[in-house]
Chain A
Amino acid sequence: MAVLNDRRYLKSHEWHKLDGDICTIGITQFAADALTDVTYVSLPAAGKEVSAGKPFGEIESVKATSDLVSGVTGVVAEVNSKLNDSPDLVNSDPAGGLDDQGEALRQVRFRKAPVCRRL
């Protein structure tokens, strides 16, 4: 499994990709495979504050429910609303590449992400 060098990781398998002051967070392919078929993703609403090292949402699969942990402190700018209807996108492309419409499959985007050194 290739490790993507354009992002930094938490031990709990969330990846963080910094682009200007926006930090995008997702989970690794390894975590997606370990979870098996993802059935539900609970994400915070835009505007909600999140803290480094703290859970900000939950991800459910047939086998288990796991916390999603943020490595950064910030305010949620946007979440990938497609995950409401198609949580299986986490399995098919957890690294947040491009979908068939050429759109980025963002998991969560944070505005203001100054604490990246904690990753």
Chain B
Amino acid sequence: MLKTPLNDTHKRLGARLVEFGGWEMPVMYRGINDEHVYTRTAASIFDVSHMGRLKFTGDDAEKFLDKVCTRNIAKVAVGKSAYSHVCNEQGCILDDVIVSRFKDHLYMVCNAGNREKIVAHLKKHIEGMKVKMEDLTTGTVMFAIQGPAVLPLFKEQSDKLPIKVPEIPRYGCFGGSYMGMGYTVFRSGYTGEDGFEFVLPAMAGVLVWDFFTKDGGPDRATIKPAGLGARDTLRLEAGMPLYGHELSEHVNSLAAGCKWCVDLNKDYVGSAALRKFDSDGLRFKMTGLALEGRRIARQGSKILSEGREVGEVTSGTLSPTLGKSIAMGYVETALSNSEAKLAVDVSGTPIPATVVGLPFYRRQ
């Protein structure tokens, strides 16, 4: 099992560590609910060093990524990041990634559990192209700082930092070097809150984590650590798909509700299949559901309509912000509307459910 450079930090903070995507990761420190609420109301820091980080240089770097990504990478300007899928020839999802463009290179963040698969897939398509791909995952730390207090905090502390962090626009990125230490900052996250993600060399990253989590005094919001448990409930409220749940090699990018990141007018691995899905129509559609009561629908729970099985739940939780049982899942396209009377089979009990638009939660 791989360990991030912050492993000892998590142990010191009393985290509960679990295996995730081949890494030993903190699932929680103080409690999932507590960390969730704190992220929605103040600021949390998440170790996301397990995420794969790949760097692409060379004349064909852009052309290469456009050959494997559903998103039009040529349109991504310097200093911007773009969410994309990487598909197989069938238009089904191998991974969901964020591609960012810097002055002299392109950068991809992929899922921890898919890193080896994606590296192998990319190597297969890289032949004959002038591209150098480097896997920077294990030598660096990546953490996300998320919550409504993050921007004010960085504005207030900006004189202490070498980078003008608050000036990075939404879905922007900025890379540079400070005292010989390379750094990368992204204005993105996976919680539905505003925030930043930092990539730093391993040693420096551990020290900067400590700097950010130091108590700033009674009148100042303190950044507290949060684990993958809260990250999961936060992203679910924000209606963001998770690989292995909403996204997999069994579903195509259009059914997953991600047409906005699919360019049907360029050619890449899976584009022909995706164009066919687009013209033929989709049998199932990614759908948000609100369930009656407090019971939680789990991945694999059947979605029913008048006793007939019409879909399957991919994620569910009791939303800490809304106090309601929410779920995402695939429902027959014809029934994926707010008039449909649906139910979810929770341990043999059909729980009435209604279709609701995603996201479940949107920040003010």
Q: Which residues of A contact B (CB under 8 A)?
A: 36-37, 39-40, 42, 58, 60, 62-65, 87
Query: What residue of chain B has the Cβ atom nearest to residue A58's Cβ?
Result: B347
Given contacts A58-B347, A63-B32, A65-B347, contact A36 B229 (CB under 8 A): yes
- The answer on a CB contact under 8 Å between A62 and B347 is no
* CB-defined contacts of A65 to chain B, threshold 8 Å: 296, 298, 347
CA distance A88 to B32 in the complex (A): 13
Query: What residue of chain A has the Cβ atom nearest to residue B296's Cβ?
Result: A60
CA distance A95 to B129 in the complex (A): 64
A-B pairs with lowest CB-CB distance, top 8: A39-B318, A37-B33, A40-B294, A62-B32, A36-B32, A40-B295, A60-B296, A37-B32
Q: Does B28 count as interface, using CB distance less than 8 angstroms? A: yes
**Which residue, of A58, A63, A64, A87, has the highest number of chain B Cβ atoms within 10 A?**
A63
* CB-defined contacts of A64 to chain B, threshold 8 Å: 298
**Which residue, of B33, B233, B298, has the highest number of chain A Cβ atoms within 10 A?**
B33
Given contacts A36-B229, A39-B318, A65-B347, contact A60 B295 (CB under 8 A): yes
Q: List 30 A-B contacts (CB under 8 A).
A: A36-B28, A36-B31, A36-B32, A36-B33, A36-B229, A37-B31, A37-B32, A37-B33, A39-B294, A40-B293, A40-B294, A40-B295, A40-B296, A40-B318, A42-B295, A42-B347, A58-B347, A60-B294, A60-B296, A62-B33, A62-B229, A62-B233, A62-B296, A62-B317, A62-B318, A63-B32, A63-B229, A64-B298, A65-B298, A65-B347
* CB-defined contacts of B295 to chain A, threshold 8 Å: 40, 42, 60
Q: Which chain B residues numbered 280 to 324 have a C-beta less than 8 Å away from chain A?
A: 293-296, 298, 317-318
Query: What residue of chain B has the Cβ atom nearest to residue A63's Cβ?
Result: B229
Query: What residue of chain B has the Cβ atom nearest to residue A87's Cβ?
Result: B294
State how many angstroms separate the Cβ of A12 from the closest Cβ of chain B. Answer: 17
CA distance A41 to B166 in the complex (A): 45
**Which residue, of A37, A58, A62, A87, has the highest number of chain B Cβ atoms within 10 A?**
A62
State how many angstroms separate the Cβ of A27 from the closest Cβ of chain B. Answer: 17
CA distance A42 to B233 in the complex (A): 22
Number of B residues with CB within 8 Å of any CB on chain A: 15
CA distance A58 to B294 in the complex (A): 13
CA distance A8 to B136 in the complex (A): 52
Query: What residue of chain A has the Cβ atom nearest to residue B28's Cβ?
Result: A36
State how many angstroms separate the Cβ of B34 from the closest Cβ of chain A. Answer: 8
CA distance A39 to B322 in the complex (A): 13
CA distance A72 to B347 in the complex (A): 23
Q: Which chain B residues numbered 1 to 37 have a C-beta less than 8 Å away from chain A?
A: 27-28, 31-33
* CB-defined contacts of A40 to chain B, threshold 8 Å: 293-296, 318
Query: What residue of chain B has the Cβ atom nearest to residue A84's Cβ?
Result: B294
* CB-defined contacts of B33 to chain A, threshold 8 Å: 36-37, 62
Q: Which chain B residues numbered 161 to 179 have a C-beta less than 8 Å away from chain A?
A: none
CA distance A53 to B133 in the complex (A): 56
CA distance A64 to B18 in the complex (A): 14
State how many angstroms separate the Cβ of B324 from the closest Cβ of chain A. Answer: 11
Query: What residue of chain B has the Cβ atom nearest to residue A39's Cβ?
Result: B318
CA distance A87 to B229 in the complex (A): 19
Query: What residue of chain B has the Cβ atom nearest to residue A41's Cβ?
Result: B294
CA distance A119 to B295 in the complex (A): 30
Q: Which chain B residues numbered 332 to 364 have a C-beta less than 8 Å away from chain A?
A: 347
Query: What residue of chain B has the Cβ atom nearest to residue A85's Cβ?
Result: B294
State how many angstroms separate the Cβ of A59 from the closest Cβ of chain B. Answer: 11
* CB-defined contacts of B317 to chain A, threshold 8 Å: 62
State how many angstroms separate the Cβ of A117 from the closest Cβ of chain B. Answer: 31
CA distance A62 to B16 in the complex (A): 15
Query: What residue of chain B has the Cβ atom nearest to residue A62's Cβ?
Result: B32
State how many angstroms separate the Cβ of B44 from the closest Cβ of chain A. Answer: 16
Query: What residue of chain B has the Cβ atom nearest to residue A33's Cβ?
Result: B16
* CB-defined contacts of A37 to chain B, threshold 8 Å: 31-33
State how many angstroms separate the Cβ of B318 from the closest Cβ of chain A. Answer: 4
CA distance A97 to B57 in the complex (A): 63
B53-76 Cβ-contact flags toward A at 8 Å (1 or 0): 000000000000000000000000
Query: What residue of chain A has the Cβ atom nearest to residue B346's Cβ?
Result: A65
